[in-house]
């Protein structure tokens, strides 16, 4: 029996956590003792340490977090979706396979912007002459739909990946797994926000014919690839949270890319056009930040008993989560309404419910969870840098760990909250804070704003119940 | 009115309920969490209505019975305002204004990596889980909450002992660690005496007496009231005792508790026997021989415990001091008796500290004879009805029968003042005793409330043609937020006789009612 900790206690300064009567904390503060007074309320459910089968949840989660932190997502190449993504082919009898954001969904339940993006993609692919025909095709069941997440991929907003689209390939250097994401189109009238039309297709075609081959050559010329974890870590120190703000990440990416771009692109004007496109799109880095998150999270899947999320995604109709311990199972609830700031001419009446795979960033320990890094966009969470700090501080309550690689200057370089723990969400009732863009609810229009919201409670309740069983 | 998923600590709720009850036209009001137990209370009080059926244990209920609907509405409105208002302008510790406060112990520890102690005072049903969380985070624990099952207490303490952590409590009201007053505790200097106490008030009384003798304490470890029961086996007492035996700052040990279960007493005294530091054992109401047998110094009262420990620590105060004081008390009693009328023969002790009531009963056992109580030394002296005195009588107003749904009498004097008036009207009463406990956790100005009440009680007796004596003991130091000197002065100005300590107050009252005759 050790007396060591007690003699240590006798010799050291008291530092107290107070739970309950506030006056006790005040008495301690009066005596000059460091005290943190817990904002306690009755736990909604007990904190579960062991599953009924006897598996130690703490150990499982520790392993999951260790794997996520070891991840080394490297941008190593690009390809065309149907060739690059393993298993990407339509099932028998279907004319095409389209990947989408969020949990599985059928055409009849798809929201406006996701439908719009599907219609646009079918026209872009040349499978339909116009959007009407595309919609009929989809309604007749000729198109297969699958979540991006079922193919190691992630897509922002509608998250549509159609066969001809170029994708980035991100390789997790620590585990060897690959993840995929498309190139970011920019803001406004873009396919991922549900817009379609000639301007949208023209841009997509340019991205396929000019942007893609140029980037591919440059990226593949960089011997070890581009270290996305390092870029994210730096961007977090430069005012990005790598979800709603990607200005620093995009700049860092361009800086890492440019020498290779100049060396590999034979046409100076084309190189300049590519450079201009990226520097004119502050969100270009988003898709890379997302693919990096996906690559980092997947190795944690399949750790029995782990209650951390490896997937959190929305399709504009449903919000879905998956836990590391049950990677095949989606827990789904209706997608929430975004509390947003709107582009001129649009309002909350135009907004579609929450949509996109970009919550992979929050799942991987940045995005909305790293708001404290991004005072420039504090308006989303109340206006002041203090509000941004508190948004992050609150997320520590529901996370299992803190990220060793991603740190927050304003919190004395504390690690970002990492590993959303279903048990803690169930216990505290604190729901994950998400940052997001907002799409118009009707197909064909596009972006109307950006904002924040909380994940819906019900899917966490069900996930927690499934652990208890 | 139901307020969903709203939580406030019980002190806040009871304070609000008290202010609602004080509103004109309000017959009864309750502000409680909608637990099963509280529901039963509301039903009993006639405050339950069908509209409350939807409330769950995480919801807050405000129920008002008033003379009219308007009055009730007004009360509900006021409750809403009070609940919405931040409880205190002052924020605890280093937290900045508006800063996020951690919601769980784990998260607080993560945000403050040097944390080494958890003080837990949530409702009993949640307390064990919080204590587990604290222990799992490697923290020592002071568990103030009561209503923790004995099985939980044993499991927590076994884990704590295995991991070298203190698990003080459940129901541990007081501790002094590294000179810091925790829970209900006084500001005392650091020094050579280490105390392990199963009674919070016992620790307060002995530590303040030592302070007044010019002696500090090294550590004051609380064990919780049940630690020395057979089922718990004195786990924390033994652990604390061992820790102090090897603590270089501690020169003299003082153990304070009610008599332990026999097997536990044996274990504790075996540990005492191994001690190479002088040890004073105060098992209040227990036998002395086994203590002497273990090579330790027995003490019958808290006062004796403190004085003996002081003597062993090299202070030139011995039991001679108590004897000298006793002689003075006899003289004082004779003077005070002079004003009493023939029919005034009983003493009535109205205590806020249970251990202080017990100490007084021990003193009177040899002086006064039978004293009735709700916490009697012998079962046949149990009061039939604790709300009405008979003969010589000592009531512990901190017992559960008095505190359900209200604040402890060390914080809220209302009940004690009412009882004081009741006793003042009894022509057979000669002397009333009150204990006043100062320090952190206690009322900010007890004399400010009890003083006028004492004056009022004496005036009432005066109207009945009697002199009523009120003897008070004050447990505290000049370093306490209330200030011992200020409190004593205010009480004396109100007409109270302030004794040097609780045992002295008991002896003085004893001499007053016996006229100095030994039994």
Residue by residue, DSSP assigns B78-138 as: HHHHHHHS-S-SSPPTTPPTT----SSHHHHHHHSTT--EEEE-S-HHHHHHHHHHHHHTT
What pLDDT, on the 0 to 100 scale, is given for residue B87?
A: 46
A101-110, B39-48, B108-117: range with lowest mean pLDDT: B39-48
Give the SS3 label for residue B375: coil
Contact call for residues A173 and A136 (beta carbons, < 8 A): no
Which of residues A397 and A53 earns the better pLDDT score? A397
Mean pLDDT of chain B: 91
Q: Do B180 and A18 touch (CB under 8 A)?
A: no
Q: Environment class of residue B326 by beta-carbon count within 10 Å: exposed (0-12), middle (13-18) or buried (19+)?
A: middle
Residues from chain B contacting residue A44 (CB–CB below 8 Å)? 58
Q: Do A16 and B140 touch (CB under 8 A)?
A: no
Q: Do A35 and B481 touch (CB under 8 A)?
A: no
The answer on pLDDT for A255 being more than 80 is yes
Give the SS3 label for residue A19: strand
Residues from chain B contacting residue A23 (CB–CB below 8 Å)? 11, 441
In order, the DSSP letters of B430-470 are EEEEEEEE-SBTS-S-HHHHHHHHHHHHHHHHHHTT---EE
What pLDDT, on the 0 to 100 scale, is given for residue B392?
A: 97
Q: Name which of A3, A20, A29, A56 to mutate to probe chain B: the one with the most chain B Cβ atoms within 10 A of its Cβ.
A: A20
Q: How far apart are CA B388 and CA B423, in angstroms?
A: 9
What pLDDT, on the 0 to 100 scale, is given for residue B33?
A: 82
pLDDT digits (tens, 9 = 90+) for A51-96: 888 899 999 999 999 999 999 999 999 999 999 999 999 999 999 9
Q: How far apart are CA B166 and CA A241, in angstroms?
A: 42
Measured CA distances, B120 to A398, B128, B382, B408 (Å): 21, 9, 33, 17
Q: Do B103 and A40 touch (CB under 8 A)?
A: yes
Interface of B with A in 63-102 (CB under 8 A): 87-88, 90-95, 98-102
Residue B245 tokens read as: 């035996």
What pLDDT, on the 0 to 100 scale, is given for residue A469?
A: 82
% of chain A residues with pLDDT over 90: 90
How many beta carbons lie within 10 A of that of residue A358, not counting itself?
34
Q: Do A22 and B129 touch (CB under 8 A)?
A: no
Backbone angles phi, psi at A81, to 5 degrees: -45, -50
Closest CA to A40 of B136, B88, B106: B106
Q: Name which of A14, A16, A382 to mutate to probe chain B: the one with the most chain B Cβ atoms within 10 A of its Cβ.
A: A16
Q: Do A29 and B93 touch (CB under 8 A)?
A: yes
Residues from chain B contacting residue A12 (CB–CB below 8 Å)? 116, 178
Contact call for residues A97 and A326 (beta carbons, < 8 A): no
What pLDDT, on the 0 to 100 scale, is given for residue B95?
A: 40
Rounded to the nearest angstrom, the gap between the alpha carbon of residue B218 and the centroid of all alpha carbons in its chain is 22
Contact call for residues B68 and B11 (beta carbons, < 8 A): no
By Cβ distance, the residue of A4, A24, A389 closest to B183 is: A24
Q: Name which of A7, A12, A19 to mutate to probe chain B: the one with the most chain B Cβ atoms within 10 A of its Cβ.
A: A19
Q: Do B246 and A42 touch (CB under 8 A)?
A: no
Partner residues linked to B193 by β-bridges:
B217, B252
What pLDDT, on the 0 to 100 scale, is given for residue B404?
A: 74
By Cβ distance, the residue of A18, A46, A386 closest to B92 is: A18
Confirm or reject contact between B112 and chain A (CB < 8 A): yes
By Cβ distance, the residue of A3, A17, A430 closest to B242 is: A3
Confirm or reject contact between B141 and chain A (CB < 8 A): no
The answer on pLDDT for A118 being more than 50 is yes
Residues from chain A contacting residue B105 (CB–CB below 8 Å)? 17, 19, 38
What pLDDT, on the 0 to 100 scale, is given for residue B7?
A: 75
Q: How far apart are CA B194 and CA B418, in angstroms?
A: 39
Residues from chain B contacting residue A430 (CB–CB below 8 Å)? 103
What pLDDT, on the 0 to 100 scale, is given for residue B46?
A: 84
Q: How far apart are CA A244 and CA A283, in angstroms?
A: 8
Closest CA to B422 of B384, B443, B393, B382: B393
Confirm or reject contact between B56 and chain A (CB < 8 A): no
Q: Do B140 and A46 touch (CB under 8 A)?
A: no
Give the SS3 label for residue B229: coil
Q: How far apart are CA A281 and CA A186, in angstroms?
A: 5
pLDDT digits (tens, 9 = 90+) for B67-114: 888 888 889 988 888 887 654 433 333 344 456 889 999 999 998 989
The residue written with tokens 């003798």 in the block is: B213
Could you give the angle at the alpha carbon of B131 between the alpha carbons of A399 and A38, nearest 5°? Answer: 55
**Mean pLDDT, rounded, for A189-199:** 96
Helix (H) or strand (E) holding B492: helix B484-493
Confirm or reject contact between B177 and chain A (CB < 8 A): yes
Measured CA distances, A316 to A192, A244, A356, A449 (Å): 12, 17, 7, 15
**How many CA atoms does the CB half-sphere of A156 hold within 13 Å?**
34
pLDDT band for position B5 (cuts 50, 70, 90): confident
In order, the DSSP letters of B63-94 are EEEESSHHHHHHHHHHHHHHHHS-S-SSPPTT
What pLDDT, on the 0 to 100 scale, is given for residue A130?
A: 97
What pLDDT, on the 0 to 100 scale, is given for residue A51?
A: 87
Contact call for residues A243 and A286 (beta carbons, < 8 A): yes
Q: Environment class of residue A413 by beta-carbon count within 10 Å: exposed (0-12), middle (13-18) or buried (19+)?
A: exposed
What pLDDT, on the 0 to 100 scale, is given for residue B85?
A: 61
Closest CA to B104 of A49, A427, A16, A419: A427
Closest-CA distance, A408 to chain B, in angstroms, reads 13
pLDDT digits (tens, 9 = 90+) for B117-165: 999 999 989 999 999 999 999 999 999 998 899 999 999 999 999 999 9
Q: Do A3 and B9 touch (CB under 8 A)?
A: no
Q: Do A16 and B117 touch (CB under 8 A)?
A: yes
Residues from chain A contacting residue B108 (CB–CB below 8 Å)? 17, 36, 38
Backbone angles phi, psi at B431, to 5 degrees: -140, 135
Confirm or reject contact between B307 and chain A (CB < 8 A): no
Residues from chain B contacting residue A17 (CB–CB below 8 Å)? 102, 105, 108-109, 112, 115, 117-119, 134, 139
Q: How far apart are CA B5 and CA B32, in angstroms?
A: 12
Give the SS3 label for residue B175: strand
How many beta carbons lie within 10 A of that of residue B340, not counting itself?
19
pLDDT digits (tens, 9 = 90+) for A29-44: 999 999 999 999 898 8
DSSP label at A351? B
Q: Do A386 and B98 touch (CB under 8 A)?
A: yes
Contact call for residues B257 and B199 (beta carbons, < 8 A): yes
Q: Do B93 and A7 touch (CB under 8 A)?
A: no
Which of residues B81 and B237 earns the better pLDDT score? B237
Contact call for residues B453 and B446 (beta carbons, < 8 A): no
| Pairs of CB atoms within 8 A across A/B | 208
The residue written with tokens 């909380």 in the block is: A454
**Mean pLDDT, rounded, for B216-242:** 97
In order, the DSSP letters of A216-264 are HHHHHHSTT-EEHHHHHHHHHTTT--SSS--HHHHHHHHHHHHHHHHHH
**Mean pLDDT, rounded, for A463-468:** 94
Q: Helix H segments across A98-130?
A: 112-124
Residues from chain A contacting residue B98 (CB–CB below 8 Å)? 386, 390
**Mean pLDDT, rounded, for A439-468:** 94
How many beta carbons lie within 10 A of that of residue A300, not counting itself?
27
Q: Is the dihedral of CA B194, B195, B201, B207 positive or negative?
A: negative
Q: In chain A, how long is the greatest CA-to-CA distance?
A: 80
% of chain A residues with pLDDT over 70: 99
What pLDDT, on the 0 to 100 scale, is given for residue B89?
A: 37
Q: How far apart are CA A362 and CA A348, in angstroms?
A: 24
Closest-CA distance, A454 to chain B, in angstroms, reads 18
Q: How far apart are CA A356 and CA A360, in angstroms?
A: 9
Confirm or reject contact between B133 and chain A (CB < 8 A): yes
Instruction: Evaluate the omega torsion of the peptide bond into residue B170 and state whether it is cis, within 30 degrees of 0.
Output: yes
Q: Which residues contact B507 (CB under 8 A, 6 or more apart)?
A: B326, B329, B363, B367
Tell me how far apart the terminal alpha carbons of chain A are, to the nearest angstrom. 37
Q: Do A36 and B99 touch (CB under 8 A)?
A: no
Closest-CA distance, B385 to chain A, in angstroms, reads 32
By Cβ distance, the residue of A18, A22, A34 closest to B87 is: A22
Q: Do B94 and A34 touch (CB under 8 A)?
A: yes
Q: Do A5 and B90 touch (CB under 8 A)?
A: no
A144-158, A201-215, A338-352: range with lowest mean pLDDT: A338-352
Q: How far apart are CA B87 and CA B8, in angstroms?
A: 9
Partner residues linked to A144 by β-bridges:
A97
Q: Environment class of residue B166 by beta-carbon count within 10 Å: exposed (0-12), middle (13-18) or buried (19+)?
A: buried
Confirm or reject contact between B219 and chain A (CB < 8 A): yes
Residues from chain A contacting residue B481 (CB–CB below 8 Å)? 30
Partner residues linked to A168 by β-bridges:
A78, A181
Mean pLDDT of chain A: 95
Helix (H) or strand (E) holding B324: helix B319-337
Q: Environment class of residue B489 by beta-carbon count within 10 Å: exposed (0-12), middle (13-18) or buried (19+)?
A: middle
What pLDDT, on the 0 to 100 scale, is given for residue B88?
A: 42
């Amino acid at each position: 029996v050790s007396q060591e900790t007690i003699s240590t206690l006798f010799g050291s300064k008291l530092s107290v956590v107070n739970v309950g009567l506030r006056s006790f904390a005040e008495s301690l503060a009066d005596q000059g003792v460091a005290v943190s007074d817990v904002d306690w309320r009755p736990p909604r459910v007990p904190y579960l340490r062991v599953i009924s089968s006897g598996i130690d949840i703490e150990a499982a989660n520790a392993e999951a977090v260790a794997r996520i932190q070891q991840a080394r997502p490297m941008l190593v190449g690009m390809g065309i979706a149907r060739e690059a993504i393993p298993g990407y082919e339509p099932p028998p009898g279907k004319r095409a396979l389209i990947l989408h954001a969020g949990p599985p969904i059928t055409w009849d339940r798809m929201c406006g912007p996701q439908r719009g993006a599907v219609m646009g993609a079918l026209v872009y692919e040349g499978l339909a002459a116009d959007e009407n025909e595309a919609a009929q095709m989809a309604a007749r069941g000729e198109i297969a739909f699958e979540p991006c997440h079922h193919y190691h991929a992630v897509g922002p907003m509608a998250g549509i990946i159609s066969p001809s689209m170029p994708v980035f390939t991100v390789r997790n250097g620590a585990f060897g797994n690959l993840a995929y994401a498309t190139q970011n189109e920019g803001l406004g009238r873009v396919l991922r926000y549900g817009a379609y039309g000639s301007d949208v297709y023209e841009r997509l075609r340019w991205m396929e014919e000019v942007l893609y081959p140029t980037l591919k050559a440059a990226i593949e010329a960089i011997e070890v690839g581009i270290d996305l974890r390092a870029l994210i870590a730096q961007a977090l120190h430069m005012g990005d949270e790598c979800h709603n703000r990607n200005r620093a990440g995009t700049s860092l990416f361009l800086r890492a890319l440019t020498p290779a771009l100049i060396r590999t692109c034979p046409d100076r004007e084309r190189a300049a056009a590519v450079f201009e496109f990226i520097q004119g799109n502050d969100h270009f880095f988003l898709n890379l930040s997302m693919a990096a998150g996906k690559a980092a999270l997947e190795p944690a899947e399949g750790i029995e008993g782990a209650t951390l999320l490896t997937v959190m995604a929305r399709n504009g109709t449903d919000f879905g989560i998956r836990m590391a311990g049950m990677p095949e199972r989606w827990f789904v609830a209706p997608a929430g309404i975004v509390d947003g700031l709107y582009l001129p001419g649009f309002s909350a009446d135009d907004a579609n419910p929450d949509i996109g795979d970009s919550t992979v960033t929050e799942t991987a320990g940045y995005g909305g969870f790293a708001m404290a890094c991004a005072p420039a966009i504090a308006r989303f969470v109340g206006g002041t840098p203090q509000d941004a700090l508190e948004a992050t501080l609150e997320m520590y309550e529901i996370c299992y760990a803190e990220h060793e690689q991603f740190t927050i200057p304003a919190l004395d370089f504390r690690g970002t909250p990492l590993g959303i723990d279903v048990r803690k969400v169930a216990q505290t009732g604190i729901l994950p804070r998400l940052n997001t863009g907002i799409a118009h609810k009707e197909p064909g229009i596009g972006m109307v704003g950006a904002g924040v919201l909380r994940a819906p409670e019900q899917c966490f309740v069900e996930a927690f119940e499934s652990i208890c069983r | 009115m139901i307020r969903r998923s709203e939580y406030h600590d019980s002190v806040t709720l009871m304070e609000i309920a008290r202010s609602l009850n004080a509103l004109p036209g309000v017959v009864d009001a309750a502000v409680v969490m909608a637990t099963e137990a509280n529901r039963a209370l509301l039903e009993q009080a006639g405050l339950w209505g069908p509209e409350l059926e939807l409330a769950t244990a995480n919801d807050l209920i405000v129920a008002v019975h008033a003379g009219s609907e308007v009055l009730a509405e007004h009360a509900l409105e006021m409750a809403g305002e009070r609940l919405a208002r931040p409880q205190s302008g002052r924020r605890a510790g280093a937290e900045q204004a508006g800063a996020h406060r951690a919601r769980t112990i784990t998260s607080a520890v993560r945000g403050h990596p040097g944390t080494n102690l958890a003080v837990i005072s949530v409702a009993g049903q949640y307390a064990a889980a919080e204590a587990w969380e604290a222990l799992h985070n490697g923290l020592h624990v002071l568990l103030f909450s009561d209503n923790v099952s004995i099985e939980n207490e044993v499991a927590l303490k076994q884990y704590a002992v295995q991991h070298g952590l203190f698990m003080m409590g459940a129901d541990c009201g007081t501790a002094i660690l590294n000179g810091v007053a925790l829970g209900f505790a006084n500001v005392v200097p650091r020094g050579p005496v280490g105390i392990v106490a199963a009674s919070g008030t016992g620790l307060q009384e002995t530590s303040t007496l030592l302070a007044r003798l010019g002696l500090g304490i090294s550590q004051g470890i609380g064990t919780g009231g049940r630690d020395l029961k057979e089922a718990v086996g004195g786990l924390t007492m033994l652990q604390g005792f061992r820790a102090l035996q090897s603590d270089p700052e501690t020169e003299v040990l003082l153990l304070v508790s009610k008599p332990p279960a026999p097997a536990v007493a044996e274990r504790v005294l075996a540990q005492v026997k191994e001690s190479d530091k002088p040890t004073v054992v105060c098992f209040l109401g227990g036998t002395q021989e086994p203590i002497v047998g273990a090579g330790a110094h027995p003490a019958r009262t808290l006062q004796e415990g403190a004085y003996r420990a002081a003597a062993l620590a090299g202070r030139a105060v011995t039991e001679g001091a108590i004897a000298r004081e006793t002689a003075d008390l006899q003289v004082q009693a004779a003077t005070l008796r002079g004003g009493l009328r023939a029919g005034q023969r009983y003493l009535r002790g109205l205590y806020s500290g249970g251990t202080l009531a017990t100490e007084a009963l021990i003193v009177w056992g040899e002086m006064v004879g039978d004293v009735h109580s709700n916490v009697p030394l012998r079962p046949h002296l149990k009061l039939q009805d604790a709300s009405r005195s008979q003969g010589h009588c000592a009531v512990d107003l901190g017992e559960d029968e008095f505190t359900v749904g209200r604040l402890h009498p060390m914080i809220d004097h209302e009940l004690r003042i009412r009882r004081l008036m009741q006793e003042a009207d009894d022509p057979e009463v000669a002397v009333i005793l009150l204990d006043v406990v100062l320090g952190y956790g206690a009322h900010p100005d007890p004399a400010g409330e009890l003083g006028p009440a004492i004056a009022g009680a004496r005036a009432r007796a005066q109207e009945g043609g009697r002199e009523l004596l009120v003897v008070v003991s004050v447990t505290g130091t000049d370093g306490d937020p209330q200030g011992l000197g200020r409190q004593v002065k205010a009480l004396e100005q109100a007409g109270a006789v302030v004794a040097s300590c609780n045992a002295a107050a008991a002896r003085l009252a004893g001499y007053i009612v016996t006229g100095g005759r030994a039994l």
